[in-house]
Structure 1
Amino acid sequence: MVKIARWNFDGGTQSGFVDGVNCYPLPAGQGVQTLLDAGLEETLGLARDTIGSSPAVPLADVELLAPLVPATIRDFVTFEEHVEGMRMSIDGMAGVMPEWYEAPTFYFTNPHTVTGTGEVIGIPAGCEDLDFETEVAAVVGRVPGSDGRNLTAEEAHRHIFGYTVLNDWSARDLQRREMKVSLGPCKGKDFANTLGPWIVTADEFEDRHDAEGFLPISMAVKVNGEAIGQDLLSNMGWPFAELVAYASQDSVVRPGDVLGSGTCGSGCLGELWGRNGAKTPPPLKTGDVVRMTVEGIGSIENTVGDRREAVTRVAARVRPRNRVAFAVASQA
């Protein structure tokens, strides 16, 4: 198994491979993006040459960071159970909208607010209903000869460099208001995403895909040590290869892009609120510890910090509805 990570050590940031209890840094000037640009096969060869031969740094002595700084983050919504529960939570409606079944849907979120395991996640201003979302993310790498456009599912599968755990933190009360404008979440989502603890290269999972390309690996989340939800990644409506292919249609996927699975069934509080008809379990509060574990990848854990106190809304100016254009005098 090849794990790729970023970490702080001895006053500096390093990137490299994690093997057992040791970290093996890449040469100076090289980082995770270097590996993604090189592609999976070259990276596996470099890992074989690096692990055990370069000076090791004990894993226990480093502070793990998010394993990459993504170029983009597309977050899908692929678990039917989650969609059903969240629809009850946000709209009070039962069932899944028929459009969900027609094609995978995603939104773009903020790559600049990505955090790593162990970081404190502050509650954004105006939020009373802080939530987590338990996900797996695929990381795109280079495939020689491909420009990442209009990929088939088979081609897209080769672009999947590896997998990491994703927590798509959510301010549910902010999100509910924003979604009524029919555009998508903004401040309800872009304050934090956690990736980690590392990227596990895709070859580790190659023989675990089922006949349709799904990965039957377990996902689970706990708050303060209490189990909240669990699911199988194979309960996605589409396998990751089809998500990458869909993202590339009339567009492009490039090394460093991250594509999230969306929240697994029972993998967040909001879904449970919809099913329970009440906010049970309660929203996250300062001091709560959220731990997510995905089979074959690892665990990420974050503590909830303080709420930022600030004015969060500014009312629109009301403008007169004067739609008559001013006449422009022509010049002789």
Structure 2
Amino acid sequence: MRFARYERRGAVTATACAVVVGEPGEERLHDLRGATTVLDLAAAGPDAGSGIEAAREAAAWAQRSSSPVPLADVRLLPPLQPPSVRDFVAFEEHVEGVARAVSGDDGVVAEWYDAPTFYFTNPHSLVGAHDDVPVPPGSRRFDYELEVAAVVGGAGTNLSPAAARGHVFGYTIFNDWSARDLQGREMKVNLGPAKGKDSAATLGPWVVTADELAELRDDDGYLALGLQAFVDGRRTGHDLLSNAAWTFEEMLAYASRGTWVRPGDVLGSGTCGNGGCLAELWGRSGRQEPPPLAPGDVVRLEVEGIGAVENRVVAGPDLADLPAVPRARARDRRRARAVEGVAR
């Protein structure tokens, strides 16, 4: 089952959530009952299995009871509004290349192998499958990142990898757009990335429920989905999701350690290897070829079993037109307040 969130083109109406039916190029949407959302389905029970059963019932009702809406008549939105977004870095090949391009490091740090590291990114910056994506202010090295994301179903804490499988509601495509020059400066402070990855992240085109992709697991339990990236029609990267160092179940188990994961939380796989982003290619070749993304470029990401997202890069705000933020001010580090009538 595929579930999408959309708004009608040219209409001033509330957004709707729908089940997606039909072959590629012939998709149509059937609205879910009332105000039901994808997050509602994911949260429908103590685990994701309950959510998938609720999704099956909701999809059946929608196809019986609501009129079809052609996909061409709508703007696809991110399929859900997640409470949180964790983005992992699970592909060794990606880390090797990007470390050289962003920080000048050579190779993968030993700590990477210890656990599936992630950072929290901005759930308010999500854009839809075909939305325009502005270049972040001040960036000259803009990049895409080809990822798959898992959507959490039932809440859980201190999960084992085996138990975590029952807490995955579905999967979608994730493009963690990155300003590599901003990212490189920030990470020299040993914190971040912050503004390097704060401007946009594509989520879509829809959520495919976990049961739909079960047959694509390999013998080791990895989802062996084919991944491809294109810039202006030229293929720049391709990989298999199963080349990740950890499964989504292992990443989810780690995310739940000592805390809770909740329905609708999104977990990105991290960028795949073999051209899953431009920075990996730059790091390997020592030159910016292909060049950084610029206004007018069209980035298309395809994932087997899920679909495709395609976004056009457009000009963003000029840094010179935005309010200035001062550099750090030198301070004399007084330990007492300098206030008239108060001892210093």
Same fold (TM over 0.5): yes
Cα deviation 1:14-56 (Å, max 9, x = unaligned): 1010001210101222222211111122112221232243222
CA distance in 2, matches of 1:11, 1:18: 22
Whether the 8 Å contact between 1:139 and 1:160 is mirrored in structure 2 is yes
Q: Which residue of 2 aligns with 1:15?
A: 17
Cα deviation 1:74-108 (Å, max 9, x = unaligned): 00000000000011112323221111111000000
- Counterpart amino acid of 1:11? V
Q: Which residue of 2 aligns with 1:73?
A: 85
User: Cα distance, 1:314 vs. partner?
Assistant: 2.4
Q: Which residue of 2 aligns with 1:90?
A: 102
CA distance in 1, matches of 2:203, 2:209: 15
User: Cα distance, 1:192 vs. partner?
Assistant: 0.4
Task: Say whether residues 1:133 and 2:139 are aligned partners.
Answer: no
Which range moves more in the overlay, 6-15 or 306-315?
A: 306-315
- Counterpart amino acid of 1:3? R
Task: Say whether residues 1:108 and 2:107 are aligned partners.
Answer: no
Cα deviation 1:177-212 (Å, max 9, x = unaligned): 000000120000011000010001000111221232
- Counterpart amino acid of 2:166? R
CA distance in 1, matches of 2:293, 2:216: 35
Task: Say whether residues 1:30 and 2:29 are aligned partners.
Answer: no
Q: 1:274 aligns with which of 283, 300, 306?
A: 283
CA distance in 2, matches of 1:279, 1:114: 27
Whether the 8 Å contact between 1:213 and 1:241 is mirrored in structure 2 is no
TM-score calculated relative to the size of structure 2 = 0.90
Q: 1:262 aligns with which of 241, 258, 270?
A: 270
- Counterpart amino acid of 2:282? W
Q: Which residue of 2 aligns with 1:310?
A: 319
Task: Say whether residues 1:156 and 2:155 are aligned partners.
Answer: no
User: Cα distance, 1:116 vs. partner?
Assistant: 0.4
* Structure 1: segments with no counterpart, 5+ residues: none
CA distance in 2, matches of 1:210, 1:225: 30
Q: 2:178 aligns with which of 170, 174, 177?
A: 170
TM-score calculated relative to the size of structure 1 = 0.93
CA distance in 1, matches of 2:301, 2:326: 36
CA distance in 2, matches of 1:309, 1:208: 45
- Trace 1:37-48 onto structure 2 (pairs within 5 A): 37-38=43-44, 39-48=51-60
Residues 313, 84 of structure 1: alpha-carbon distance in 2 compared, 3 angstrom cutoff: farther
The percentage of aligned residue pairs carrying the same residue is: 52
How many residue pairs are counted as aligned between the two chains? 322
User: Cα distance, 1:62 vs. partner?
Assistant: 1.4
Whether the 8 Å contact between 2:148 and 2:171 is mirrored in structure 1 is yes
Considering only aligned residues, what root-mean-square deviation do their CA atoms show, in Å?
1.6
Whether the 8 Å contact between 2:176 and 2:201 is mirrored in structure 1 is yes
- Secondary structure of 2:157's aligned partner: coil
Task: Say whether residues 1:241 and 2:241 are aligned partners.
Answer: no
